[in-house]
Amino acid sequence: MSIDAPAKVNLVLRVLGKRADGFHSIETLMAPVTLADRLEIELCKGGGLEFTCSDATLPLDGTNLVCRAVEAFRERTGFSGGVRVHLEKRIPHGAGLGGGSSDAAAVLRGLNGLVGAGLEVADLEELAAGLGSDVPFFVRGVAAWCRGRGEIVEPLGEELPGGELLLVKPPFPVPTAWAYGAWARGGFPATSGARLGSIELMNDLEGPVFSKYLVLPVLKAWLLAQEGVAAAMMSGSGSTMIAFLNDGAVGLEERVGEEFGATFGMFRCRLGAVGGV
């Protein structure tokens, strides 16, 4: 089975406080985009897991969410057959785009179909919640409000406005745990003001992340000043910046490269479901 694992962007991210279990309570509106990893999942004789990846920097052992998803599926269903997975990595990691979480959800969906385990969406979301806070969102692969620590998923139920996005990934990651910890220590105001249809774009983590990674507020302000950019914001805990484009955004990638250098990755995509169940 070939299955796409989409990236996500956070259109709204409110941090509501720290929970007793150490996680933070959040309310976030996430949407899948057409930038996606590709997984090839195959059942094979014997047992065990053979996992390969096009990105040599990623671990191939039990710390990878793909491997953890296979083991979680086995524990839940009793499936003991061999599994071969190849991951063609297109989503940058450490980017606030949920690539690893999406890969894990794709493995759960794919194995459920290949094995014929018959797990329902709610079962898959419950299984996904044990792997990570963002993983349940990717089970359905549609725009949704996610609450709690992210595991309570409520599909948006309406179409998001169309249009292209440019994702700009600086050459460094932002550790998620650090970003939330900095928010808890700082009392930073939310950044808002722009809208996407009826949605007010907002990310509570921009303040703390921008206070340390000083190129990010510069990048955001620069993007907002460019012709064809309707709005800009950081996705998740960063470091990716989202530019919401209109028809005038011709040559924007070249201008980003000229201004910030060739180490900044750029990905044109659209909001929209890829995969899901």
Catalytic residues: 8, 134
| C-beta neighbour count of 214 within 10 angstroms | 9
92, 29, 26, 188 alpha-carbon torsion, rounded to 10°? 80
* CA-based nearest residue to 166, from 29, 260, 277, 27: 260
Helix (H, G, I), strand (E, B) or coil at 180: helix
Q: Where are the beta strands (DSSP E) in the chain?
A: 2-18, 24-44, 49-53, 82-88, 144-148, 152-155, 164-169, 195-196, 199-200, 202-203, 229-234, 241-245, 265-270
Tell me the C-alpha distance between 259 and 245, whole Å.
18
β-bridge partners, 42: 84
